[in-house]
Amino acid sequence: MDLKFGHFRLRQKSRLLFNSDGIVDLSARSFDILVLLLTKPDQVIEKAALFDAVWPNLQVEENTLQVHISALRKALGADMITTVHGRGYKYSGPLPVAVPEDLDPDNPGEQSAEHLRPLLDLSGGRKVPVTGGCLCGKVRYVVTEAPIDTNFCHCRMCQRFSGAPVTAGSTYRAGAVQFTNGAPKYYRSSPFAERGFCENCGSSLTYRPVEPPVTANWADWILIYTPTLDNPDPNAPTWHLGVESQVPWLRIQDDNKRVRCQDSPDLVEAWAAFNLPVP
């Protein structure tokens, strides 16, 4: 059964929460807490009971629970969850109603939210939406389509931007990535592209063409640095770019194609738009 409350719909099977605009980004723990609160509307759920249910057999700091409660208040509206001082929390929003699961899996929300239908990561044996974000959590995103391309990049710009000897990137259609919390700040690293990072924690997040596009190929895509995905495992890189800058002490033993920046047709084309060779 799904649970409907106000303009929200909680799909228990796929562990997703929808509002009328589409999917609401919630961490797995926040989702668990919400389910527990919804099962006993207007009743206090003691903190100990919440810790036991959500973090069984784990020592968790007191403020971890508060962090999840504030994430839920942000997602639902502040007055949906009431703090009962010294005891716990209670759900105080519209009464949840159990409704049959949506028959049309493509139309999960109250209204159609096709463009926000998440791509589900099934690699852990559990259906979870493909999500990611920065180190501090201020920037979060949902991915709704499979990547167009995955690669390693050893170029000097990626090395400096990430502070790592090599980056791994997953390129998506621009419309397939939605920022559900915050947004990257952008640094224009070349005449035709900009790099996104979290203003708060500095995490390297994205690489994308600038607007207006300099050529037809430099439009409508965004590269997400693969390790910022909550589960980067399925997005194995399929080729190497920028191998002219590969550090000599890094050995990656795969048989994937290796391309120098000056041999990349896309980079040659972009720099040529400014009458410049690939640096």
Q: How far is the CB of 241 from Zn ion (least distance, A)?
A: 6
Q: In what side-by-side order are the strands of the sheet with 88-91?
A: 45-46, 88-91, 81-84
* 158 near Zn ion, rule: CB under 5 A: yes
Stretch touching Zn ion by CB under 5 A, among 54-62, 78-86, 142-150, 196-204: 196-204
* 200 near Zn ion, rule: CB under 5 A: yes
Stretch touching Zn ion by CB under 5 A, among 16-24, 95-103, 105-113, 190-198: 190-198
212 prior amide bond cis, ω within 30: yes
| Neighbouring C-beta atoms of residue 115, cutoff 10 Å | 11
- End-to-end distance of the chain based on CA atoms, in angstroms? 58
Report angle CA 22, 27, 32 to the nearest 5 degrees.
Answer: 100
DSSP 56: T
Chain positions 110 to 139 lying near Zn ion, rule: CB under 5 A, are 134, 136, 138
Q: How far is the CB of 187 from Zn ion (least distance, A)?
A: 14
* 247 near Zn ion, rule: CB under 5 A: no
Nearer to Zn ion, 18 or 161 (CB): 161
* 201 near Zn ion, rule: CB under 5 A: yes
Beta carbons of 153 and 243 less than 8 angstroms apart: no
DSSP 96: P
Stretch touching Zn ion by CB under 5 A, among 41-49, 104-112, 191-199, 262-270: 191-199
Contacting positions for Zn ion (CB under 5 A): 134, 136, 138, 153, 155, 158, 198, 200-201
